[in-house]
Amino acid sequence: MRIAFIVAGLGLLMSVDSRAQNTPPVSPPPQEQVRAAEQAFARTMADRDPEAFARFVAEEAIFFSGAQVLRGKAAVVVAWQAFYEGPDAPFSWEPEIVEVLDSGTLALSSGPVRDAEGKVFARFNSIWRLEGDGVWRVIFDKGSAVCD
């Protein structure tokens, strides 16, 4: 009798384990996906990795750089290359605000931009799009100076 209970118990455990293995992994909510993408995007500057930076920029991206408008990934990557030269990052940024449309396809991230000494001198505003390959990429980026 004990053996029957043990065998039945093992069978139950195996079926529960089998169902757990067939359960697809749960993705973080879109807001957390975008926050993580923005943090990884910012880390490219600290890591001095322009190739990684480029992977976060959409092909049809528009970045505002002062009075200049950079249109397309190639133009953005070329212009930002100068920020990746040298051993130390000239600035850093971090998301404070992240909001995602209910559709889960567009998001806004915004936060402070700090100089090399850590002083906030600007704020960034980025619009992210969830692209067909399931990756969030920046389609619009605009910074603005902060008042003292």
**Residue 13 within a domain:** no
**Residue 78 within a domain:** yes
Q: Provide the H-helix boundaries in 1-148.
A: 2-22, 30-46, 50-55, 73-80
Amino acid identity for residue 92 in this structure? S
Tally of structural domains, the chain? 1
**Residue 3 within a domain:** no
For 25-82, write each residue's pLDDT tens digit: 888 999 999 999 999 999 999 999 999 999 999 999 999 988 899 999 999 999 999 9
**Residue 104 within a domain:** yes
CATH number of the domain where residue 42 is located: 3.10.450.50
For 90-121, write each residue's pLDDT tens digit: 999 999 999 999 999 999 999 999 999 999 99
Task: Report whether 128 contacts 106 (CB < 8 A).
Answer: yes
Residues in a beta bridge with 71: 62
**Residue 51 within a domain:** yes
pTM above 0.85, yes or no: no
Q: Domain span at residue 35?
A: 25-145
Question: What is the end-to-end Cα distance of the chain in Å, rounded?
Answer: 80
Contacts of 146 (CB under 8 A, 6+ apart): 112, 120, 121, 122, 123
Higher-pLDDT residue of 66 and 144 is: 144
- Burial (Cβ within 10 Å: 0-12, 13-18, ≥19) of residue 7: exposed
